[in-house]
Amino acid sequence: MNIGIACYPVYGGSGVVATELGKALAERGHDVHFMSYSMPFRLGHIKDNISFHEVDVNSYPLFEYPPYTLNLTSKMVDVVKHGNLDILHVHYAIPHATSAVLARQILAGEGIKIPVITTLHGTDITLVGRDPSFASIVDYSINQSDGVTAVSEYLKKETLNSCLIKADIRAIPNFIDTDQYSPLNKDHFKLALCPNGEKLLVHVSNFRPVKRVADVIQMFARLKDDGYAVKMLLVGDGPDRMATEHLARELNVMDDIRFLGKQEPVGEILSVADIFVLPSGSETFGLAALEAMSCAVPVIATDVGGLPELIQDGITGFLFPLGDVDALVDRAKQMLDNDDLRMKMAQASRKRAIDSFSKQLIVPMYESYYQEIIDKVESRPLSLEHQS
Ligand code: GMT
């Protein structure tokens, strides 16, 4: 198939999933065309059957706010026509789904049919999508898509409950390359970080308020106070980074914490971790947790959103109630006190990543969904696209 993918190119879950999906589809022989305002950061080397189409954003004295949605629409029209695309798959509703629906309408006027699939990732529904200044266009763009997927059952339900959505939604979970994210022997690195055999706790996020990184620091300070030999790595950057560093200094734990900033890929770092901590206030899937699990690192996370679909409480890690730092400390102690339990959870995590979330398992689900939607649109008269 000739597949067009539009996504955000920056550090963040939706862009990562879109890029990894495109790369995996290309490996399986499809031609993949990425469209975005800059090269997706995970794309790496362009191969024969992967191309990147940069969306120009015009500057013009009248445009205090350049109309990116329209630039993207024009780019989509161009790439569908000249790349002979069979399907347009957009990630994150705003503005990608809106541009795709508009592009489909323009192309219908030229006698070209292009099926549009929108994948919802989370904040496009749970946060930004419910902002009254966006709600109606988000609902419209989702309803007008020919196919809609959500990255978890939770997000599917949440979208149907909170939006005026009439479209069918297919839950297709996120996936991981279990070869790339696998336990690596990095003893020298571990020794440098934990010279006295301390246990290493790791958190990876974009440091937005929803990630509640302060809970990680509070937990770590409590473990230190109670005499645990632990170190901490914090990976990523974002709006709460400074406040987090401040809290770590205030609680006198800065000497045992390293802030690494944005790192890519994180596989090597995860390979030296003993426990991964994700105390998010909301998480539609939790790709960072899956990356850790694939590297055989057990996860302690909040029992919110899609996290319980990924983490099996007491088997691959622990779930705890949102904001309950006492419970978080308690679960961390259980893992630190019992090497046997932690190792069992590490193995169960790796097994779960391979058995339920590997790219070999999930990418074919997208392929069959593409075919289903192509067939549906094929059987529909072109005149209907004009009315959409
Ligand atoms: O985690 C973020 O804040 C980034 C955000 C995004 O849209 O890039 O991530 C969302 O999509 C990821 C990929 O599907 C999911 O793994 C994350 O759970 C989800 N984030 C939230 O729901 C907060």
Three-state secondary structure along 317-355? EEEECCCCHHHHHHHHHHHHHCHHHHHHHHHHHHHHHHH
Query: Per the CATH hierarchy, to which homologous superfamily does domain 2-174+359-387 belong?
Result: Glycogen Phosphorylase B; (3.40.50.2000)
Question: What separation in angstroms does the CA of 38 have from each of 31, 64, 79, 156, 334?
Answer: 19, 20, 16, 29, 45
pLDDT at 165: 83
pLDDT at 383: 65
Strand order in the sheet with 116-120: 50-54, 31-36, 2-6, 87-91, 116-120, 147-150, 170-171
CATH topology of domain 187-357: Rossmann fold (3.40.50)
For ligand 1, pick from 204, 235, 284 the residue to mutate: most ligand atoms within 8 Å of CB: 284
CB 216 within 8 A of CB 245: no
pTM for this predicted structure: 0.94
Range(s) within the chain of domains with CATH label 3.40.50.2000 = 2-174+359-387, 187-357
pLDDT at 59: 80
pLDDT at 372: 97
Q: Is 123's C-beta closer than 6 angstroms to any atom of ligand 1?
A: yes
Q: Is 81's C-beta closer than 6 angstroms to any atom of ligand 1?
A: no
pLDDT at 388: 46
Tens digit of each residue's pLDDT (9 = 90 or more) over 151-183: 999 999 999 988 778 889 999 999 999 999 999
Which residue lies with its CA nearest to atom 14 of ligand 1? Answer: 121
Which residue lies with its CA nearest to atom 13 of ligand 1? Answer: 13
Run means of pLDDT, 10 residues per run, the chain, 388 residues: 95 89 96 95 83 90 88 98 97 95 96 97 76 88 96 94 85 97 92 96 96 98 98 97 98 98 90 97 96 98 98 98 98 98 98 98 98 94 61
Cα 97 to the center of its chain, rounded Å: 17
Q: Is 218's C-beta closer than 6 angstroms to any atom of ligand 1?
A: no
pLDDT at 384: 59
Q: Is 362's C-beta closer than 6 angstroms to any atom of ligand 1?
A: no
Q: CA–CA separation, 205 vs 299, rounded Å? A: 14
CB 46 within 8 A of CB 388: no
pLDDT at 385: 59
Q: Is 279's C-beta closer than 6 angstroms to any atom of ligand 1?
A: no
Q: CA–CA separation, 76 vs 102, rounded Å? A: 9
